[in-house]
């Protein structure tokens, strides 16, 4: 599905499903976000990994904001299963290049994710937002999203996984 949008500055852009050829730009955006979060050294994936997982294994779907042939933003999603709701959509990342923030790209990508969830009959779209990202929190709350302040995101890294494997 292609959507042609115009921003407040009348910049035209398209929100579309990513293609294999877009993965180098997707990786650039992932690294831009990681750099912003002071965690660039934690990015372990490469273009081949994105291509395999997204297009061969179909483990995620990615939507991109295309501005005059240049990928300026992305939303990467995948299905999860909730024991209370059934199938849900998880928004892993919504990234817009810093220079393009405030142009409407993020809102259009967000709307596309919500539409994708609706089109696929899910009962919930979910994601995690950093408590320090006040602009995003305000945006999400203004769209009717419920920020779960009494829940914690829990991760176990490879070291923890190995430590918990029974031999």
Instruction: Print pLDDT tens along the chain (167 aa).
Output: 445 544 445 589 999 999 999 999 999 999 999 998 899 999 999 999 999 999 999 999 999 999 999 999 999 999 999 999 999 999 999 999 999 999 999 999 999 999 999 999 999 999 999 888 898 899 999 999 999 999 988 999 999 999 999 87
Which CATH number fits the domain that encloses residue 37?
A: 3.40.630.30
pTM: 0.89
Q: Give the whole-angstrom CA distance, residue 18 versus residue 109.
A: 12
Q: Tally the domains of the chain.
A: 1
Range of the structural domain that residue 18 is part of: 3-164
For 97-147, where are the E strands, in sequence order?
Answer: 125-127
| Residue 70 falls in which region: left (phi positive, over 0), alpha (psi -120 to 50) or beta | beta
Per annotation, catalytic residue among 36, 110, 116, 140: 140
116 part of the active site: no
Least Cα distance to 55 among 24, 85, 21, 86 occurs for 21
Confirm if 89 and 126 have CB atoms less than 8 A apart. yes
């Amino acid at each position: 599905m292609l959507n042609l949008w115009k921003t407040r500055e009348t910049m035209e852009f398209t929100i579309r499903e990513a293609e294999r050829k877009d993965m180098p730009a997707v990786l650039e955006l992932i690294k831009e976000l990681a750099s912003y979060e002071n965690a660039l050294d934690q990015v372990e994936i490469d273009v081949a990994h994105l291509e395999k997982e997204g297009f061969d294994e179909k483990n995620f779907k990615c939507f991109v904001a295309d501005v005059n042939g240049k990928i300026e933003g992305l939303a990467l999603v995948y299905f999860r299963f909730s024991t209370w709701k059934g199938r849900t959509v998880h928004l892993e990342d919504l990234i817009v290049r810093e220079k393009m923030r405030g142009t409407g790209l993020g809102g259009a990508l967000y709307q596309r994710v919500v539409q994708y969830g609706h089109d696929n009959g899910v009962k919930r779209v979910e994601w995690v937002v950093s408590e320090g990202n006040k602009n995003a929190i305000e945006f999400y709350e203004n769209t009717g999203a419920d920020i779960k302040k009494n829940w914690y995101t829990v991760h176990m890294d490879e070291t923890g996984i190995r430590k918990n494997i029974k031999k």
